[in-house]
Amino acid sequence: MDAVKLAVVGVVLLLLGGIAIALGVLPAQDALAIADRVWPILLFVVAVTIVAELAAAAGVFDVAAFALARLGRGRTWALWGLVVLLAIAATAFLSLDTTAVLLTPVVVAVARAHRLDPLPFAFATVVLANTASLVLPVSNLTNLLAVERLGFDDPLSFLMLLGPSALVAIVVSTGLLYAVHHRSLAGRYLPAPAPRIENRPLLATAAVVVLLLMPLLVSGLPPWIPAAAAAVVLVAVFAWQSPRTLRVRLVPWQLVVFASGLFLAVGAVEALGSQQLVEAVTGTGGSLASLLQLAGVGMLGANALNNLPAYLALEAAARAPERLAALLVGVNAGPLITPWASLATLLWHQRLHAMGVDVPWRQYVLFGLVAAPLTVVLAVLPLAQR
C-alpha cells in the first residue's frame, strides 16, 4: 500500500465514521473524546517526522552511518552490529518509521560503498524497527496510545513495564538475524570515502537539535511539546539556509488521514458492541496463558490486517497494565510475517525498491514465521513474573 492508497483508505474510513456520527451510532460526544485523545499523538507523529526528514536532508544519518563504518575497522560483523545499535537508538527515540524510512537507505548506501551485501543491513533495520519499538512511548504510535490509556505520567513507568520484554525482543530478533546472515557478515571491507557534506553549519545545527530532542522525549514532558519545538527550530533554520528542502511531502499527511479515519471507525465499531466478542477471543486475567493468548491474537491481527487497527480493536480487552503490555508485544514485535503487517515495513520496501534493492519476500516471510512467534512468546514471559 503506497502513500496515496493509504490516504484513500483514510478518507473512506473518515466518511464511514462521519456516517456513524450522523446516524447516531457513534455519539458526537464520543467522537469529540476520540479527537481529544489522539490530537497530541498525531501532532507528535507529524513533528518528529519533520525533524527526522530534515535531519536526514542535512546528512545527520549519513555521517553517523559512515562513522560506524570507521568504527567497525574493516570487520563486517562489527559494522552490522553497530548498525543494529543505531537502529535500536533511532527506533527508540525517533520512532520505527524513522528507522525504516530514513535509516534504511543510509545503511544500504554504506554497505554498497564498502562493497558489502546490503540485505543483512536492510533486514536489520526493518526487524529492529518493529521489535525495538517496545522501548519507549515515543517508539511507536501504539505505545503512545497505551500510555494515554494507562495514565502514565513519565516514560520511566512505561520502561519499567515493557523494558524487560523489549530487551528480550531485541536480543531474540538480533540473534535470529545473525544466525540467518552470519555467512555474509564473516568477511572484511575496505574504508570508503566519507559522504560529501554541502552545508556543514546546517548539519551541525540538525545534529544538535536531534541530540537535544532525545533526552527531552524521555523527560516527562508530553512528547508533542519538545518534538514540535524541534520541528519549528529546524524549519526556521532550513528556511534560512536551504528553503528548497521545505516541501509539503515533509508532513506525513497520508498517515494522519489514515490514522484519524481508523480511530473514528474503530470507535464506531466499539459503539456497536464489539467488546464482548473481543473479550471472548482474547480471554481475561493476568496468567501466562491469558497473556500469551492476548499477545498471540494481537500478532495474528497485525499480520492479517495491520498493527494499528489490531491494537485499536483489542485495546478495550486489555484493561490491566500487564495485559496492555502483552498486547503491545503482539502488535509491535509480532508484525514480521506479512509485508502489510506494519506500515514501517511497507515504507521500508518502498525505499529499497527506489534504490534498486530486490527484497526476497519469500525469505522475509519464512524468517518471520520463525521470528515472530518465538519473539512474542519469549517477550511475554517477563510480564508473567510481575
Q: What is the pLDDT of residues 222-256, one digit of tens each?
A: 888 999 999 999 999 999 988 888 888 888 888 78
For the ranges 79-88, 240-249, 277-286, the lowest mean pLDDT is seen at 277-286
Dihedral sign computed on CA atoms, order 62, 68, 74, 78: negative
Return the pLDDT at 100.
87
Return the pLDDT at 351.
81
- Region 302-320 average pLDDT: 87
- Region 179-206 average pLDDT: 88
For the ranges 37-41, 250-254, 267-271, the lowest mean pLDDT is seen at 267-271
Q: Is the pLDDT of residue 88 over 90?
A: yes
| CA distance between the termini of the chain | 39
Q: Is the pLDDT of residue 367 over 70?
A: yes
> Residue 93: which pLDDT band, with cuts at 50, 70 and 90?
very high
Q: Is the pLDDT of residue 41 over 60?
A: yes
Q: Is the pLDDT of residue 1 over 60?
A: no
Cell of 87: 537502529
Secondary structure of the chain: what % helix, strand, coil (to 5)? 80, 0, 20
> Residue 133: which pLDDT band, with cuts at 50, 70 and 90?
very high
Q: Which position has the grid cell 456497536?
A: 272
Whole-number mean pLDDT of the chain? Answer: 88
Q: Is the pLDDT of residue 2 over 70?
A: no
Amino acid at 1: M
Ramachandran region, residue 123 (left: φ > 0; alpha: ψ -120 to 50; beta: rest):
alpha
Ramachandran region, residue 59 (left: φ > 0; alpha: ψ -120 to 50; beta: rest):
left
pLDDT digit string, tens, across residues 142-154: 999 899 888 787 8
> Residue 97: which pLDDT band, with cuts at 50, 70 and 90?
confident
Return the pLDDT at 380.
97
Return the pLDDT at 276.
65
- Region 133-158 average pLDDT: 88
Burial state string for 61-84 with b = 16 or more CB within 10 A and e = fewer than 16: bbbbbbebbeebeebbbbbbbbbb
- Region 162-173 average pLDDT: 96
User: 203 vs 279, which has greater pLDDT?
Assistant: 203
Q: What residue segments make up the domains of the chain, in order of their start?
A: 3-273+342-373
Which of 16-20, 39-43, 59-63, 175-179 is the most confident on average? 175-179
- Region 305-315 average pLDDT: 86
Chain centroid offset of residue 84 CA: 15
Residue 219 · residue 229 · CB < 8 Å: no
Q: Is the pLDDT of residue 319 over 60?
A: yes
Return the pLDDT at 134.
96
Return the pLDDT at 342.
87
Cell of 138: 515515543
User: Where in the chain does DSSP place strands (E)?
Assistant: none
Q: Is the pLDDT of residue 340 over 60?
A: yes
Q: What percent of the chain has pLDDT over 90?
A: 40
Non-local CB neighbours of 35 within 8 Å, separated by 6+ positions: none
pLDDT digit string, tens, across residues 44-69: 888 988 988 898 889 888 888 888 88
Dihedral sign computed on CA atoms, order 218, 219, 221, 227: negative
Angle at CA 304, nearest 5°, toward 301 and 306?
Answer: 70
- Region 268-277 average pLDDT: 68
Closest CA to 322 of 294, 299, 303: 294
Q: What percent of the chain has pLDDT over 70?
A: 96
- Region 151-173 average pLDDT: 92
Chain centroid offset of residue 134 CA: 9
- Region 94-106 average pLDDT: 87
> Residue 274: which pLDDT band, with cuts at 50, 70 and 90?
low
Cell of 215: 533526552
